[in-house]
Structure 1
Amino acid sequence: MTLPPSDGPQLTRRRLLALTGGLAAAASLAACGDDTGRPDSSPGTGGPTGGGPTLQQWYHQYGEAGTQQAVQRYAEAYPDASVEVTWKPGDYDQAVAATLVTDKAPDVFEYGNGPTIDMIRSGQVVDLTDVFGNALGDFNPALVKRVSYQGRIWAVPQVMDMQLLFYRPSMFNAAGIAPPTTMDELLKAAEKLTNDKVKGLFLGNDGGASLMGGPMLRSAGFDYLTDSGSFGFDDPAAAKALATLRTLFTSGHLLLGAPSDWFAPDAFTQGLAAMQFTGLWNLPDISKALGSDFGVLPWPAMDGGSANVTIGAYGACVSAKSAHVDEAKKYVKWLWVDGTDKQIDFATSYGLHVPARQSIAREAEKLQSGAAAEAVQLAQRHGHAQSHLLWTPKSTTAFTDMMSRIVKNGADPVKEIAALKKIVDAELARVTA
């Protein structure tokens, strides 16, 4: 599952968390776009099942084999309604946005990191606060916060994607260095690990322009928006953090032009880079290729900031146009709140992801040992939601364009941030009016 990138192209869960920096255009969000590095399942529609009313449920087209069949099995097992599953290829976000304003809106649908602020404010989705019941405190708090607005919760996080820094211990040992815990150590490690066959670090074929804006801001103690919902990084220290990506881009220590992009593990497993920032969903493939010769780290801190792990989740939403709102809410609760066996299956049987409920994550066998268990702990200690609810698609696009200019063209980050702030402030004024 990929997190849809909030500062880059939107990915799918298995396209990912996904999880990208800005979890909104397709870099291909995880594993959280449509590129996952895996073959796509063919689109299809599940037939009606069960008794009671008929509910329409939409999913975007996941890349991992078996996901389509899995969600159809879940629907068929529901006893209180017939659930027709529609598997939507192509531009899923656009299809949902266009359909929600019509009478053909699905009763239940998923959306990357939950519904947009415009969907909420225009009354297109239903308040799902009461769906959680006593289980609310068991859901990852950062994910719940991401789908909350004005004291109400507008989606149920399905499963969590995360983005981490993978590294090769054998290469670090050969170079005589330790895994990096600070940004300065990361830069030095990337240099030390680079030789005529291997680059020190891989952040994507664009040098991290579409992926690493959010992690770099959090590394320096900032985020897209503040907790109060205002522009979050109008500060020289934030400009310095973003400029660090330009330093990497021009250093010669960054892998560029890899056969596959950041959301696939190929550059790392083929030994083209000693470190790669990518999604947890790739862990099974990495383990198969490298055995125990890999580890996971949070993105390291700069002065004044903190180490961080980007997390995100597709959220189950209920359309306000549904003729069966109560039944749709009941189904969402059955599947994504109470359905612990299904949540573990969806999270760990197709790639590797983490159930949104923390107690269930602890129960999942594939997450109880090794790098997977360490990744779960890192997400709990250092997890940051991929984006803020008030960070709109327009803000995302402007941010992505800004990052490209800074990283690829060497634009002045101070001036670029000042120009971006005007766009974001206008968007914030619009959605909070």
Structure 2
Amino acid sequence: MIRSRVATLGVAALFLAACGGNTQAPQKKSELSLYNDKGAWSKYFDEMGALSKQQISLGMKPVGYTDSAQYQAFIKASFRTNVKPDLFTWQTGGMLEEIVKQKQVADTTSIWQEAIKAGDLSQDLAPYYTVGGKQYCVPMNVAYWGMFYNKKLFDKYGLQPPTTWDELVKVAETLKKNDVKAFYHTSVLFSFVWFEQLMAGMDPDLYDRLSTGKAKYTDPGVVQVMEKWKQLIDAGYFINPGDKTDPGDVMKNGKAAMISFGTWFNTSMTQRDLKAGTDYGFFAIPNVNPALPKTSMIFESGPLCSLTKAADPDASQKYLKWWTTQPAQDKWATTRGDVSANPKVTIKDEALGQVTKDAGSGKYRLVNRYFEATPPPILTAALDGFSKFVTEPGTYKEVLDTIQKAADDYWSTHQ
């Protein structure tokens, strides 16, 4: 998951270390620091730290950021200074590959081999963590993307979770007639959500080709995705993309009836004392193209990593190994009301448990989330472009041209 504003103390410490240096010999640690871009999850990290202290005599203290760009800058700066996180969160795809190639990330191949053998991790997850035939990091979380919906609004207007795209549009139209905005979207950071969802639901093969430079953002199929997106915006189904209301509050107060996010968003619901099945629900988003053999479902997995030059590499590796086990994952999933990367964990929320089971059984075509599937330089241009588009939908061709220029620059040296 992506989130994030940097912890001031972390920045201060970084620059002090850069200036002053540190000549102390490495020491064995009894508590590890876990730097992360999920500041809102500090409570859950604290609980995991207390549990690890009990179970493996190794505590953990989170250092949470709430600004993604500043967090990434800090982690990359730590490669060159003496202030190094014992553990840190990151993204898979191009961002993980980038720092692995810089030889900054500790190899976790043996952890993966043991966890797969023990049934604590699925072999299907391994490719997302594999660079050059070896595994790096372990899954901090997994998430399947679908639609969270305000059940009370649905009940009020006699609506049911749709099973086809046409039904979804009819739901949106009914809500519109009753002066309720159907969908949430935003012009910051998560501006890519509807692009990935529409493209995966219209032509997932094109989506995959686009992420590997085998298709262009100016291709007719991509233009059609933007035109479909524009139709939905022009129809008045979305809230103002500049609205700064937290998505969790948008759902709670009914400002929008539906929000497309990963299953991790369930934590925002539980934090607001909302009850699954009573206050809200979750459904898989139907394909736009009904002829596709499987429903496309966006998938992501967020890594938990350690550095090659961690202060206590053995302790960091010990913690990563523990994190994958069922006792750890039972706690991690239960406290947040989310799903788990460990197949042995029982998901209490019925809807999330079902989608996890279905995804694992092959019912859906899993599509790597755009944020991880897209190389970072192209992603930067795309996020800016989609942010412009949601506020000025008529600019979609200009936006695609701009993204493609960034793609041409990148793939000219990376094919």
TM-score higher than 0.5: yes
1:153 and 2:140 are equivalent in the alignment:
no
1:343 is displaced (CA, Å) by 1.7
- Among residues 239, 261, 267, which one is paired with 1:255 in the alignment? 239
Which residue identity is paired with 2:78?
Answer: T
Report how far residue 318 of structure 1 moved: 2.2
Of 270, 282, 285, which aligns to 1:299?
A: 285
1:110 aligns with 2:94: no
Cα distance change of structure 1 residues 321 and 213 upon mapping to structure 2, 3 Å threshold: same
Specify the code of the residue in structure 1 equivalent to 2:278. Answer: S
1:336 to 313, 316, 323: 323
CA distance in 2, matches of 1:228, 1:160: 20
Output the TM-score relative to the length of structure 1: 0.74
Where 1:407 maps in the other structure, the secondary structure is helix
- The equivalent of 1:398 in structure 2 is 381
Are positions 1:166 and 2:141 aligned together? no
Q: How does 1:16-415 map to 2 (within 5 A)?
A: 33=4, 53-54=28-29, 56-60=32-36, 61-64=38-41, 66-77=43-54, 79=56, 85=61, 87-89=63-65, 91-113=70-92, 116-136=96-116, 138-140=120-122, 143-168=125-150, 171-172=153-154, 175=157, 178-204=160-186, 209-222=191-204, 225-226=208-209, 229-232=212-215, 234=217, 235-256=219-240, 261=245, 264-278=247-261, 279-284=265-270, 288=274, 292=278, 294-303=280-289, 305=292, 307-322=295-310, 324-333=312-321, 335-338=322-325, 340-349=326-335, 351-360=336-345, 363=346, 367-377=347-357, 379-380=359-360, 381-382=363-364, 383-387=366-370, 391-411=374-394, 413=396
Question: Per the alignment, do residues 287 and 218 of structure 1 end up closer, same or farther by CA in structure 2, a change over 3 Å counting?
Answer: farther
TM-score by length of 2: 0.77
Write the distance in 1 (CA, Å) between the matches of 2:168 and 2:75.
Answer: 40
Percent identity, please: 19
Aligned length: 381
Question: Would the alpha carbon gap of residues 392 and 237 (structure 1) be closer, same or farther in structure 2, given more than 3 Å must change?
Answer: closer
Task: Give the match's secondary structure for 2:148.
Answer: strand
Instruction: Please report how far the alpha carbon of residue 86 of structure 1 lies from its aligned counterpart in structure 2 after TM superposition.
Output: 5.0
Shift of 1:79: 4.3
Structure with the largest fraction of helix: 2
Report how far residue 352 of structure 1 moved: 2.2
Partner-residue secondary structure (3-state), 2:50:
helix
The higher radius of gyration belongs to 2
Q: Offset of 1:391 from its aligned partner?
A: 2.7
Q: In structure 2, give the amino acid aligned to 1:344.
A: D
Matched AA of 1:336: W
Q: What is the letter of the counterpart of residue 213 of structure 1?
A: F
For residue 337 of structure 2, give the secondary structure of its aligned residue in structure 1.
Answer: coil
Tell me the secondary structure at the aligned position of residue 274 of structure 1: strand
Query: Which structure 1 segments of 5+ residues have no match?
Result: 5-10, 12-32, 46-51
Deviates more, 1:183-192 or 1:321-330: 321-330
Distance 1:197 1:385, change over 3 A: same
Task: Determine if contact 2:140/2:301 at 8 Å carries over to the other structure.
Answer: yes
More divergent stretch after superposition (120-129 vs 159-168): 159-168
Distance 1:218 1:134 in 2: 34
- Cα distance in 1, alignment partners of residues 357 and 209 from structure 2: 25
RMSD, aligned CA? 3.7
Deviations 1:46-94 (A, max 9, x none): xxxxxx82274322253146224224314533647x6563514353221
Equivalent residues of 1:269, 1:289 under 8 A apart: no
How far apart are the structure 2 equivalents of 1:104 and 1:84? 16
2:89–2:305 CA contact under 8 A, matched in 1: yes
